Structure 1
Amino acid sequence: MKSDFKFSNLLGTVYRQGNVVFSPDGTTLLSPVGNRVSVFDLIHNKSFTFNYEHRKNIAAIALNPQGTLMISVDEDGRAILVNFKARTVLHHFNFKNQVKSIEFSPDGTHFALGAGRFVEVWKTPDLAEDRQFAPFVRYRVYAGHYNDITAISWSNDSRFILSASKDMTARIFSLHSEDKHVKMSLAGHKDYVVKAFFDSTQELIYTVSKDGAIFRWEYTERPGEEDLDDEQKTLSWRIIARNFFNSQSSVKCCTFHPKSNLFIVGFGNGEFRLYEMPSFSLIQQLSMGSNSVSTISINPSGEWIAFGSKDLGQLLVYEWQSESYILRQQGHFDSMNALAYSPDGSRIVTAADDGKIKIWDIVSGFCLATFDEHQSSVTGIAFAKRGQIMFSSSLDGTVRAWDLIRFRNFRTFTSTSRIQFSSVAVDPSGEIVVAGSLDNFDIQVWSVQTSQLLDQLSGHEGPIFCLSFGTEANAKLASASWDKTVRIWDIFGRSQSGEPFDLTSECLSLAMRPDSKEVAVSTMDGKIAFFDIENARMVREIDGRKDILQGRYREDEFSSENSKRGKHFDTIAYSFDGLTLIAAGNNNSICMYDLPNEVLLKRFKISLNMQLNGTLEYLNSKNIVDGQAVDLVDRSGEISDNEENHKSDLVLPGSNRGDIGLRSTRPEIRVMSVGFSPTANAFAAASTEGLLIYSVDDSMIFDPIDLDIDVTPENTIQCITDGEYLNAIAMAFRLNETYLIHKVYESIKKENIKLVANDLPTIYVSRLLEFIGNIAMDSAHVEFNLLWIESLITAHGKYITKNKHIFAKGLRSIQRFLTRIVKEVVSYGYKVNYLNEFLLVSIDTSAINLNKDEDEDVIIEDVNEDEQMDVDSDKEDEQEEDDDDEEGWFGPNDEGKKYIDNFSNSDSEEEEDDDEEEE
């Protein structure tokens, strides 16, 4: 199995904080998710996440008008410049201050940002300019504000900059020195200014404050100077209109579209409104929930409006003219507990503590459906073999069955007493579903058809933590408990098969190999034990404590090397072939093990986000004051603004006094569940950062061929058993696993080769020829490979001739193989010729020694000459057959003909030399 897995996408999280940005064409939306950036294609219904990471959560992002460069800045002011088209990181830079807003100029030559209370303008990196060491060159710094800047905006001609600040003012700055006289402060608000905008004519300015006031400014003369000459008039920006939203909640964000004069504002209660300016006419008033609107963005055409809410992780794209939603996504707002791949590998289902079950599409990255019937945390998910039915267990005391075709709950299973279920499993036939609980020590068994409780399996002496079925028919059930035992149950025989497997510590996770012959158990002491079910013995044990990357927490007064926290695996999963196992837990690592060799293949680091506990490695003593981490102390003096500063409510830095009942927790990095994809090219991990997808290639889309069964390795092998060779070879190529293609290739019988070759789709002909050319050099099945080559070229010769560029690589491999066969056949011919002559000479000598009669010698010589003539004729016939076969294999290839002709000519010349020597 391949081990070069790389991060490919982030699901389960669509928005965390910061601003969302539309692409210049208005069809793509960029959203910050923690310390990464996700991109949603609203036209083609796809999404992807950039591979790079910030050290902390992203505070602001910006995309240049050409759509080629993107800048993302984290909460510490560290920026990363990215080539948006190629998805590559170009430069890292530190602005050395908190950046609340960053905007590119409309012409794309500069970008402005609010760093603290200063406005900084930088030149955009350009290839046309001279190459220099630092891509970022600061153009100018503007001062004047007395508090942090909240937002930056540009004029349409890229000459002027508007900045809004917490000092309740907005200021105008000019980019060029000749316009420096326009510098002015716009004061008059009673709360800090959220944002300021120019209109399309640049003759009006709109400023919005947190208390719900919007002022309209105009560049005009003072009142009473109307009768004066133009030279005597004093022109300046003055308030000509004051309007108020009259909302019960404060303004959180707003945006303005100058071309259509559309103004959108979002409030803290989840309400958003659309106004037409400058008349301040209310167009629409809607709500996206009870949580505040964190960010608003409008696309260049003014048709789509994007809203983000960080409290629930919501992301909406609203088309205001038709009053419909283009995109409506929301991740889990609580910790994910379990995940499961669908049997065809196209979807992932996640369950969380919020009581919701979400179905995610692998290719698009979007949530397809959400089930919220459970009244408490969902603890487990299991799929039936066909993938149309899903089962879930919950702490509300129910196990539910879901129909994934109609997306509804059609069965609910309960026990005789009110207990909380912690795990669920379903047998391969889909007729029996079982669940375990932490309240009692019995396993509940239900019938899916009747919903009746069939049995309660007793035997464990502690809470049952996990259950697992194999994928084979009549598979047995394995259960792990906190009583330090693993038991194997025969469900249909209603008995326990064999003695329990004893462990050295409490069980944390259980996984059964797909062939149902082995079970793996992770324990509290950091070990993974593997048991052979048939022979009831331990076959191997892996100590994973040395492989775990456990970071230190903020309040820890020691480094990560001395931390004993999280030195075990809470979740494990087998690969489809049972040769690889992945394990993870309450730490910052995912470990992949090669089971036959018992070695660590690869270790994945989940996150570099320093705002999560468990990602730091080293201790810096200056960050610990009186047993309290400095990062947990609010030193900004704005403790009353709890909605923006989720920090400890401490009066003074270093003081331990305060509200002892106040919960001030920091999220910690951990993995709750892992799972391999049935298609063998990816695995998923439900972590604090979201649902991480790791794959061996960038694209997880299969080849377009219609098959009526699920494309998995198990079903491929089943097709071989059933004699469906064409489906088997097509599925093997779609999965793109070399070992599986080889197994299918050699499983096809000799008499069926021509039939399969005739019906093989042309899309797979080049791949099959290339595969044969790669394995034929080391394969012992010479005749088998030659039959395949002959059948493929005979059946698809016209298609190969018309598309030589597609088959060039495969034909070169085939030519190399046939050339080697020619050499070997010729060399074997020489050896047989010499051996034949030696044997004939030996016969002559022995006959002369035994029979002295001259007549007998004559008879023997005559016989030898006849035999020699027969041998020579046989060799000539064989050489002619070989020449015909080689010409058929190579087809129109002239080089192959020349190569064979050279060999035949050299052979004939050597035969003539031999004849001359005999004469």
Structure 2
Amino acid sequence: MKTEFKFSNLLGTVYRQGNVIFTPDGDSLLSPVGNRVSVFNLTKNTSYTLPFAHRRNISHIDLTSNGNLLLTIDEDGRAILTIFPRRVSIYHFSFKSKVTALRFSPNGRHFVVGLGRKIQAWKTPLVPGSDGGELDFAPFVLHREYGGHFDDVRHLSWSGDSRFFLSSSKDSTARIWSLDPEEDFEPTVLAGHRQQVRGAWFSSSQEAIFTVSEDGALFRWEFVTRTQQQSGDAENAEPEDIERWRIVQRDYFMQNVKLKCATFHQASELLTVCFANGLFSLYELPSFSNIHTLSMASSPISTISINKSGEWLALGSAKTGQLLVWEHQSESNILKQSSYLDTMTTLSFSPDSSRIITGADDGLLKIWDVFSGFHVATFTEHSSAVTGSAYSRRGNILFTSSLDGSVRAWDMLRYRNFRTFTAPQRLSFSCLAIDPAAEVVCAGSHDSFDVHLWSVQTGALLDQLSGHEGPISTLAFTPDGRMLVSGSWDRTIRTWNVFDRSQSSESLQLTSDLLCVTVRPDSAQIAASTLDGQLTFWDIESSVQQATMDGRRDVSGGRTLRSRRTAASTPGTKSFNSITYSADGTCLLAAGNSKYICLYSVSTLTLVKKFTVSVNLSLDGTQEFLNSSAIMSNGLPRDMIDTDGEASDLDDRIDKSLPGAKRGKDATKRTVRPEVRVTAIEFAPTGRTFCAASTEGLLVYSLDTAGMDDFDPFDLDIDVTPQNVETILQQKQPEYLKALIMSFRLNEKQLVRRVYEAIPYGQVSLVVRDLPRVYLGRLLNFLASQLESSPHLEFALSWIGEVVGVHGRYIKERAGQFSSELRAVQRGIDGIGKIIRNLSQRNTFEIEFLCQQQRDTNVPLLTNGHGTSRGKADEADVDMADEDGWIGFD
């Protein structure tokens, strides 16, 4: 079994804090999720997470105007510079203090950051003007430093020519700065607001400035001339013209709540403001006419962004973990995703590995699409924490158990609950198992020592299996369906012959309380995890203990903020709460209340690999050693002091929750920092992916990583260069095979596409026949990406047909080696088929509608010169219809 799993995506969390931004083309949205950045493609309905991770939660992100460079900054002021199209981090830098604002200039040559009261302008590490730019030897070079504000800078914006920029501060003023010294220009203070200024922007003509403050005041500033008498003798004084920025218009939003954030689109001069009660409004400036006023949620909106065309608005709420993309012209949602507010407790893969079901402490069940990374549906029937979930073998039924005392069966074709199982007395079920035929479902509870069995078809309670002397902690059916395995806190495992008349059971004695049990896919072995950190393996047929392994040293890691011990001696982290076998049964994956996931070899009982869940210091349990310098004189850690100052107002500090209630007004309020832990873990049925439900979200680790996005050259020599590839293509008789092989060796995606599109259709079969088989995997991966991004569908399908026809037998004999490439190709073909089917259906409906309209109105049709006829429609409308892909019109 391959063990080179790599982090591929983060699900379950879409937004935490910071600002969200659109890419320059407006198709994708970047959202900070803890110490990572997730990218949502709004046109293809896919998402992925960038591979780098900060040491703390990200507070600011921004892209250059061409979309090549991404700069992310965390709460400590540490920055990571990334080549965004390649997803490669190239430089780490520290600003030495907390960053409060960030903005790249429109020309991409500089960026400004707010460091408390100061502002610094830095040179962008890429030199503009060249093709893609070339890296400087000094990636971060300080250009200038500005000072003058009396409080933290909260917002920065540039003029269109990148010569000036505006800064907004908590000192209730905005200031105008020049990037370089300008003749007859001095930094200007725009004072007049009564509360902190949330934003300041230049108009499209740069002749006006708009500022908006927290109390809902909008000021328009213009550079006007005012005549004033010179000092001296009033009778002989001469008038003097004074030019300065002055307020020419005052408007107010008339809301009784604070304004949290705002954004301004210069091209259309649309201003969007968001308030603490979840309302957001669109205004047209300078007329101040209200276009829309809508509500996202009852919680305040933390950030807002608008794409380059001004059509889509992205809104994020840190309080509810919600992300929304709204199109104001059609008044429709483009994207609406929400995060879990409580800890995820369980997860299950669908049999085809395309969907993941997760349950949480808030009782919500969510369905996630593995390939797109988006949330598909939510089930809200459970009223308490979900404790277990299991799919039927066919994948059409999902079973879940909950602390609300119910076990529910869900129809996954219609997305509805069709059966509910309950016990004679009120119990809180803690675990669940179903037989492979999905005829019997059983559940265990911490309140009762019996295992309850129900019939799926009738819903009747079949039996209560007695024998345990402690609460039931885990249940599992053997894959062959012959036995039921139960584990309890009474330090025993019992195997039950449920379908025999005798219903006999056998007890296996352990040394500590049982936490989790799993059965090998061949139904020959049981693996059990106990509270003392031991992993025990048993033979099912003979009930003989085969091996024991101590995993305390492997799983222990990470100390809490209040702990006075190192990670190795911290109690409570030295056991596995969740274990699972791989699809082939050769490896065992184990995780617990720790930042580590351990992968063991079953045959040799050795640790094969160790995965680190998170390095985010904003979470408890990620530090290894005790840092005495972070402890103050009173014994409290320095990180526990709130120095942000956002909750300084009296209204924000009042606690309106009921006395003694764990959940009051704010369901997301935390009195302590969240602690990193893994609550559930499972392998995909394909064996090439596994998921872990952790504090930061649903972590997906896969072997099927996109190889074209990683620079992994091989067989390089001095003659393999992009220039030589171009030379080969420009010859009178180009050697297409040689050019293709050289591009694969360089592994430059743009170069591979250049060679691929240059090969004539008639030469495709010859190139495929002579292609060395070592490049088959790379070629299939590239063709799969072309199916998703290239408009030349027939050309790509012809390539795939030639590859399968020539090398099909070789690929079939090595199906395991090419499994990820074949799945990528299949996914691309299915996606294209779905798009074509939808387009054909839409065209059919629209043509039928037009024909019906013509019959109803009895309008004669006009011939277009080709023998076909058209109605009296506007030619522009007909042309637009043809561009949309209508079938049947010339």
Per the normalisation by structure 2, the TM-score is 0.76
Please tell me the residue identity of whatever aligns with 2:213. Answer: S
Deviation at 1:622, TM superposition (A): 1.9
Name the aligned partner's letter for residue 576 of structure 2. F
Q: Is 1:6–1:696's contact at 8 Å kept on the other side of the alignment?
A: yes
How far off is 1:65 after superposition? 0.6
The answer to whether the aligner puts 1:177 opposite 2:184 as a matched pair is no
Matched, 1:76 2:102: no
CA contact (8 A) 1:555 1:627 kept: no
Partner of 2:663: none
- Distance in 2, Cα, partners of 1:372 & 1:511: 28
Residues 643-683 of structure 1: CA deviation (Å, up to 9, x unaligned): 99999xxxxxxxxxxxxxx9630110000000000011110
Q: Note if 1:381 corresponds to 2:385.
A: no
- 2:571 equivalent to 1:564: yes
2:34 and 2:122 mapped to 1: Cα distance?
A: 26
Q: Tell me the equivalent position of 1:394.
A: 402
Partner deviation per Cα, 1:674-715 (whole Å, 9 max, x = no partner): 0000011110000011100001121599xxxxxxxxxxxxxx
Q: What secondary structure is seen at the aligned counterpart in 2 of 1:98?
A: coil
Aligned to 1:546: 553
C-alpha separation between the residues in 1 aligned to 2:175 and 2:464?
Answer: 73
Partner of 1:324: 332
Q: Secondary structure of 1:631's partner? A: helix
Q: What code does the residue aligned with 2:452 have? A: Q
- 1:624, 1:246 → 2: CA distance? 47
Q: Which residue of 1 aligns with 2:823?
A: none
**Counterpart residue type for residue 511 of structure 2:** T
Residue 164 of structure 1: aligned partner: 168
CA distance in 1, matches of 2:438, 2:134: 68
Q: How big is the shift at 1:180?
A: 6.5
Distance 1:72 1:59 in 2: 8
With over 3 angstroms needed to count, the CA separation of the structure-2 counterparts of 1:637 and 1:431, relative to structure 1, is closer
Which of residues 408, 431, 443 in structure 1 aligns to 2:416? Answer: 408
Asked whether the 8 Å contact 2:302–2:318 carries over to 1, the reply is yes
Partner of 2:493: 486
CA distance in structure 1 between the aligned counterparts of 2:193 and 2:211, rounded to whole angstroms? 9
- State yes or no: 1:588 paired with 2:595: yes
- The separation in 1 between residues aligned to 2:46 and 2:309, in whole angstroms, is 21
Aligned counterparts of 2:183 and 2:536: Cα–Cα separation in 1: 75
**If you compute each CA radius of gyration, which structure gives the higher value, 1 or 2?**
1
CA distance in 1: counterparts of 2:515 and 2:170, whole angstroms? 51
Distance 1:104 1:501, change over 3 A: same
Partner of 1:4 in structure 2?
Answer: 4
- The residue matched to 1:591 in structure 2 has which SS? strand
Query: In structure 2, what is the Cα distance between the partners aligned to 1:802 and 1:630?
Result: 64
Aligned to 1:340: 348
After TM superposition, the structure 1 = structure 2 runs for residues 367-766 of structure 1, keeping only pairs within 5 Å, are 367-472=375-480, 474-493=481-500, 495-625=502-632, 626-635=634-643, 640=648, 664-699=671-706
Alpha-carbon separation, structure 2, partners of 1:105 and 1:151: 14
Contact 2:15 2:32 in 1 (8 A): yes
Counterpart CA distance in 2 for 1:579 and 1:564 is: 30
Does residue 148 of structure 2 align to residue 144 of structure 1?
yes
- Check the 8 A contact 2:344/2:694 in 1, yes or no: yes
Q: Which amino acid aligns with 1:242?
A: R
Letter in 2 for 1:48: Y
The verdict on how the C-alpha distance between 1:460 and 1:494 changes in structure 2, with shifts beyond 3 A counting, is: farther
CA distance in 2, matches of 1:111, 1:178: 18
Aligned pairs for 1:28-39 (under 5 A) are: 28-39=28-39
The residue that corresponds to 2:374 in the other structure is 366
**Distance (Å, rounded) in 2 between the aligned partners of 1:436 and 1:804:** 50
Amino acid at match of 1:359: I
Q: 1:538 to 1:769 in 2, by over 3 A?
A: farther
Instruction: Write the distance in 2 (CA, Å) between the matches of 1:495 and 1:16.
Output: 55
Cα distance between partner residues in 2 of 1:391 and 1:448: 10
Q: Which amino acid aligns with 1:25?
A: D
Deviation of residue 499 (structure 1)? Answer: 2.3
Give the equivalent residue in structure 2 for 1:155: 159
Structure 1 distance, partners of 2:800, 2:122, is 57
Q: Deviations over 1:233-291 (max 9, x none)?
A: 21111111222212232111110111111111111111111111111111111111111
Deviates more, 1:534-543 or 1:213-222: 213-222
Structure-1 residue corresponding to 2:787: none
Q: Secondary structure at the match of 2:215?
A: coil
Residue matched to 1:238: 246
Q: Deviations over 1:528-581 (max 9, x none)?
A: 111111111111111101112411111122322332331110111111111111
Superposition RMSD on alpha carbons, in Å? 3.2
Q: Deviations 1:332-388 (Å, cap 9, x if unpaired)?
A: 111000000000001111000111001000110000101111111111111011011
2:13 alignment counterpart = 13
Cα distance change on mapping 1:700 and 1:445 into 2, 3 Å = farther
Identify if the C-alpha distance between structure 1 residues 441 and 30 changes in structure 2 by more than 3 Å, giving closer, same or farther.
Answer: same
The number of equivalent residue pairs is 712
Could you tell me which amino acid in structure 2 is paired with residue 55 of structure 1? R
Report SS of the residue matched to 1:162. strand
- What is the distance in 1 between the residues matched to 2:109 and 2:184? 19
Q: Is the 8 A contact 2:227 2:242 kept in 1?
A: no
SS in 1 for 2:467: coil
Question: Residues 89-109 of structure 1, C-alpha deviation per residue, up to 9 Å, x if partnerless?
Answer: 110000111112211111111
Structure 2: 5+ residue stretches without partners = 230-236, 656-668, 709-764, 778-797, 815-890
For the residue of structure 2 that corresponds to 1:561, the secondary structure is helix
Letter in 1 for 2:447: D
Partner of 1:234, secondary structure, is strand
- 2:224 corresponds, among 220, 227, 230, to 220
Q: State the distance in 2 between where 1:184 and 1:769 align.
A: 67
The CA distance in 1 between the partners of 2:6 and 2:252, in whole Å, is 52
Q: Secondary structure at the match of 2:240?
A: coil
Q: Which residue is 2:196 aligned to?
A: 192
Match of 2:314 in 1: 306
- Mapped contact 1:153–1:161 kept (Cα < 8 A): yes
- Given candidates 236, 253, 268, the residue that maps to 2:261 is 253
Maintained 8 Å contact 2:27/2:42: yes
The structure-2 alpha-carbon separation of the partners of 1:471 and 1:801, relative to structure 1 and needing over 3 Å to count, comes to closer
Task: State the Cα deviation string for residues 575-596 of structure 1 (Å, max 9, x = none).
Answer: 1111111000000100000001
CA contact (8 A) 1:81 1:90 kept: yes
* Higher deviation after alignment, 627-636 or 74-83: 627-636
d(CA) in 2 for partners of 1:458 and 1:479? 11
Query: Offset of 1:77 from its aligned partner?
Result: 0.5
* Corresponding residue number in structure 2 for 1:22: 22
1:289 lines up with 2:297 in the alignment: yes
More helix by share: 1
Is the Cα contact below 8 Å between 2:228 and 2:240 reproduced in 1?
Answer: no
- Whole-Å separation in 2 of the counterparts to 1:230 and 1:62: 51
Contact kept, 8 Å, 1:510 with 1:521, in 2: the verdict is: yes
Structure 1 CA distance, aligned partners of 2:8 and 2:606? 25
Residue of structure 2 equivalent to 1:103: 103
Give the counterpart letter for 1:479 in structure 2.
S
Q: Which stretch of the first structure deviates more once superposed, 422-431 or 231-240? A: 231-240
Three-state SS of the structure 2 residue aligned to 1:558 is coil
Q: Which amino acid aligns with 1:555?
A: R
Distance 1:326 1:95, change over 3 A: same
Aligned CA distance change for structure 1 residues 802 and 285 (closer, same or farther; 3 Å): closer
Alignment partners' CA distance in 2, 1:256 and 1:398: 50
1:805: Cα distance to partner?
Answer: 12
Question: Conserved in 2, the CA contact under 8 Å of 1:218 and 1:240?
Answer: yes
Give distance in 1, aligned partners of 2:339 and 2:228.
58
How far apart, CA to CA, are the structure 2 residues paired with 1:627 and 1:57? Answer: 25
**Runs of 4+ deviating beyond 6 Å:** 642-647, 765-771, 798-806, 808-811
Q: What TM-score comes out, normalization by structure 1 length? A: 0.74
